[in-house]
Every structure is written in C-alpha cells, then in structure tokens.
Amino acid sequence: MQMEALISAFLTYTKVEKGLAANTVAAYKRDLGKFAAFAEKRGLAVEELTRDRVVDFLSELYRQGLDSRSVARHLVSVRNLFRFALSEEVLTSDPTLNLESPKVRKSLPTYLRMEEVERLLSQPDPSTRNGLRDRAIIELLYSTGLRVSELADLKVADVDRRMGCLRCVGKGDKERLVPVGRKALAAVQEYLEKSRPQLQGGQDSAKAPSPYLFVNRSGNRISRISIWRLLSEHGRRAGIRARLSPHKLRHSFATHLLERGADLRSVQLMLGHADISTTQIYTHVMEERLKQIYKAHHPRA
C-alpha cells in the first residue's frame, strides 16, 4: 500500500469513525505529510519503515530546529498511523512499539501582568473598523480564556449579551458556557454596531452574510493566523517583549482569576479542561510568583 493512500485512509478514519475535531485531523495531516516526504525522499515503501527509519525521521526533525514537544507530537501521529496500519492488516508489526517518546521538559505557562494587559487593550485604534474589531477580540480572549480556534469559530448567535455569557464548542466537540465580563461585552457590542457592518460590506453581495462573529475585511470568518498576527502586532506596539499569542492571554485569564480567589474547579470549567490536573499547572505559576515576591521583599530571604 502506498504511503499517501495509507495516510488518506487513516485521516478518513480519524474524521469519520473516531469523530476527531477538524483541528486535530489537520494536525495529523501536517505531521504525517512530513513523514511521507521523509519516506519518499529515501524511496521507502510502508513495509520498509523500520524502527531505525522512524528514529532517523525524529532526528531530522531535531536538525530542523523543532523542540522536544513538537518531535513528541510527530511521534504520536506516526505511532497512531502504524497502529491503524496494523488494524487494517497493512503491516504485521509496529516499528514504533518500543520506541520511547522524547523527554519533554515541563515549563510553567507565561502570562501578562495587569499593566501589560491594559497597555495591550489601549493599542487598537477605536476610530477604525479594524481597531474596533481587534479591541473586541483582545477583550473577549482575556475575559473568557477561549482558545484561538474557539474564538474564530464563534458565531454572532453564540454570544448572549443579556445573560452575559457565550456558548463555545471546544476540544472533542464539547460545548460549554463561559461568562463574559461587561467591558468585553461592551467592546463586542460596539464592534457589532459600528465595525462589523462595514467589514461585511466588503463581502460579495450575492453571498449571504457570514454568521461568524469576527470577520476579515472581505466579510468572511477571520482565520486563526490573522488573530495571531494582529495580537503579535499590538503586543509589539504595547512594548511586550516576548511574542504575544492567544494562548498567553488564556494563561493570563486563568492566572489572574486564581490570584483573585477563584477556585480551581470553576477555572477548569471555564477553560474547558477535561482533567483538573491540566488546570493545576496554574497553581504552580502562583507558587512561583509568591516565591519571587518573597525573595524580592523579605529582609532575610
């Protein structure tokens, strides 16, 4: 069986039979595309992809500058591909069976200080349509802790301004309700009234208006890449040294809630974490910050 055909069958299986989210399937496709290119470059058939060949592939990823976390994710994709091949009787053995995953160094999530959040929110120009949209995006990300894909997929109907909450669909197509702060709601309302109609005006008049909350200058759903870019640009202008990402705002949301007394279970529900152990990383962030404050201010630290 050709590698391309095997990958295509595997992706169909993950999408149709396992019902994985579109972003997960897309990630598998990217990772396995690299693996297919590696095999093709060396003229290797599926049956010739031994354990040593997989190790060579992982080594090449390291040479390309990928970190251990990214390499480990590629191995998971390749491992799942071979398990699928075994189940379909394309192969009789799994070359990744006894292959250990790269050791991933656990690092604490970084977040913005309150003054940095305020500086960031002051960057978009409210006199422009893009500025109103960008401010609403930043306010909503910080107010809700949404993932960037969740924000991009939000529809106008998902935001209940009267109840002060929104409905979002997260990983595994799990739906949850998330409260939204009044400042974020006000920014979204102003965007809907003043900016979005102008952006929608750039859409082909023959097409129905986009149902998505945030749109680009063509009136279509804004992409995750565009959100990354606008955040990075506003972060740079705000004087934030490290590159700003949507996930850093998510980390800031969770950390600031816990600092002000929110309980871990509530933060877990708002973030959409399936396991509370994932949310507990933020308690480590707080512990580390307390240590730094102690060392900086206690006379005998």
- From the candidates 135, 234, 248, 273, which is the catalytic residue? 273
Task: Print burial letters for 100-128: b (CB count within 10 Å at least 16), e (below 16).
Answer: eebeeeeeeeebbeeebbebbbebbeeee
- Output phi, psi for 92, to 5 deg: -105, -10
- From the candidates 171, 194, 224, 289, which is the catalytic residue? 171
Residue 212 bears catalytic tag: no
Residue 250 bears catalytic tag: yes
Q: For residue 15, with 0-12 CB atoms within 10 Å meaning exposed, 13-18 middle and 19 or more buried, which class applies?
A: middle
Nearest in space to 94 (alpha carbons), one of 41, 131, 125, 49: 49
The token pair at 145 is 């802790």
Residue 295 bears catalytic tag: no
- From the candidates 51, 176, 217, 247, which is the catalytic residue? 247
- From the candidates 73, 147, 234, 256, which is the catalytic residue? 147
104 close to 68: Cβ distance less than 8 angstroms: yes
Residue 284 bears catalytic tag: no
Q: DSSP letter for 179, please.
A: E
Residue 142 bears catalytic tag: no
- From the candidates 111, 191, 212, 282, which is the catalytic residue? 282
Residue 147 bears catalytic tag: yes
- From the candidates 135, 250, 251, 256, which is the catalytic residue? 250
User: Which amino acid makes up residue 194?
Assistant: K
Q: For residue 72, with 0-12 CB atoms within 10 Å meaning exposed, 13-18 middle and 19 or more buried, which class applies?
A: middle
Residues serving a catalytic function are: 147, 171, 247, 250, 273, 282
